[in-house]
Amino acid sequence: MVSGAIALAFLPLLLTLIIRYRYYFVLFYRAVLVRIWKDCVTGLSREERAYQYVLTHSIPGDPDSILDAFDYWCNKVEYISNIGPKKGKILDRILMEQSPLTVLELGAHCGYSTVRIARALPLGARLYSIEMDQTNAAIAEKILRLAGFDDDTVELIVNPSDEVIPRLRSDYNLERVDFVFMDHWKKCYLPDLQMLEECGLLGKGSVILADNVLFPGAPKFLRYIRKSGLYEWKIHRAMLEYSKGIRDGMAELVFQGIK
C-alpha cells in the first residue's frame, strides 16, 4: 500500500520527464535500439544497410541523387548521424563562398558529407578525407565511386586523425589547408585543431566548420576558440539532423594567424 502510494507520488514527475525529453527517447530508440535489433536480424552493420539502400535507390554518377537517397533512409528507415540536408545547406553555402582548393575532412563515416563536399569543390580542388574505421571507410569508398568521384578529387585516408595530421605535409605535400570540416569524435575536435595549428597547416583565412558542437557537444573546443584569440567565429544554430526537438549547431571559425 505504501509502495503504491509512493509510485503514484512519483508518477507526475515521471510523466513530466517523459514529455520533456521525449525527443531524446525517440532518438535513443532510433539510433540505438533499432540498430541493435537490425544488426542481429540482418547480420549487416547499419552503414552496410545504408549503402545497400543507396545503391538500389539512387542514380550512379549523380551526387544529388545519392544524397537524396541517404537523406530518405536516415529520416524514414534508420538513423545515422550525417550532417543532413538542413545543416548541409550551410556547408554548401560556405564552400561556395570560399571556393577552397585544399579541403580536409575529419570523419568520413560512410561518405555522406564527403560526397556533399566533393560536389561543391571548384575545378582543380582536392579533398583529403580521414576515417579511422576501416569498415566505414570501405563503405565511404564505394559511395564516392558510386557518386562518380575518383582519387584525383578525393583521397580517402584510413587512419586516426592524430596520426595523419602530423604527416600531411611530409606524406601528402600539403602546405596549407583552406577548409576543414570536423565531424568525427567530438573529444578529438580540440586536440586536432591544436595539432593543425602546431603543424602550420592553417593559414590566415583558413576556415574550420565543426558539426554537433551543441549536441552531443564539444565544450572544451568551444571554450578554447572563445579564449584563444586566434579565430573569428560564430555558431550556426540548427536542429539535430533527422530528428525533431533537439537543438544543435555548427561552429564556423576563420583563422586569423598565430599571434
Contact at 8 Å (CB) between 59 and 65? yes
pLDDT, tens digit (0-9, with 9 covering 90-100), for 23-40: 999 999 999 999 999 999
CA atoms within 13 A on the CB side of 210: 27
Please identify which of the residues 141, 186, 192, 252 carries the catalytic annotation: 186
Q: Which three cell numbers stand for residue 208?
A: 574550420
Beta bridge partners, 251, equal 210, 235
pLDDT, tens digit (0-9, with 9 covering 90-100), for 129-180: 999 999 999 999 999 999 999 989 999 999 999 999 999 999 999 999 999 9
pLDDT, tens digit (0-9, with 9 covering 90-100), for 178-206: 999 999 999 999 999 999 999 999 999 99
Q: What phi, psi does 123 have (nearest 5°)?
A: -60, 130
For residue 61, give the amino acid letter: G
What pLDDT score was predicted for residue 11?
63
pLDDT, tens digit (0-9, with 9 covering 90-100), for 203-257: 999 999 999 999 999 999 999 999 999 999 999 999 999 998 899 999 999 999 8
What pLDDT score was predicted for residue 4?
61
Please identify which of the residues 78, 183, 192, 248 carries the catalytic annotation: 183
Please work out, in degrees rounded to the nearest 5, the angle formed at the alpha carbon of residue 153 by the alpha carbons of 158 and 47. 45
Contact at 8 Å (CB) between 108 and 116? no
* H or E element, residue 253: strand 247-255
Please identify which of the residues 48, 71, 192, 241 carries the catalytic annotation: 241
What secondary structure does DSSP assign to 53-75, as a single string?
A: HHHHHS-TT-HHHHHHHHHHIII
Please identify which of the residues 71, 192, 212, 248 carries the catalytic annotation: 212
Non-local (6+) Cβ contacts of 225 within 8 A are 193, 231, 233, 251, 253
- Reduced to 3 states, what is the DSSP secondary structure of residue 198? helix
Is position 183 annotated as part of the catalytic site?
A: yes
For residue 93, give the amino acid letter: R
Among residues of the chain, what percentage have pLDDT more than 70? 92
pLDDT, tens digit (0-9, with 9 covering 90-100), for 74-96: 999 999 999 999 999 999 999 99
Non-local (6+) Cβ contacts of 252 within 8 A are 94, 207, 208, 209, 233, 234, 235, 236
Q: Give the torsion through C-alpha atoms of 62, 159, 122, 57, to 10 deg.
A: 10
Please identify which of the residues 78, 105, 192, 211 carries the catalytic annotation: 211
> Which CATH number is associated with domain 84-255?
3.40.50.150
Is position 186 annotated as part of the catalytic site?
A: yes
pTM flag (> 0.85): yes
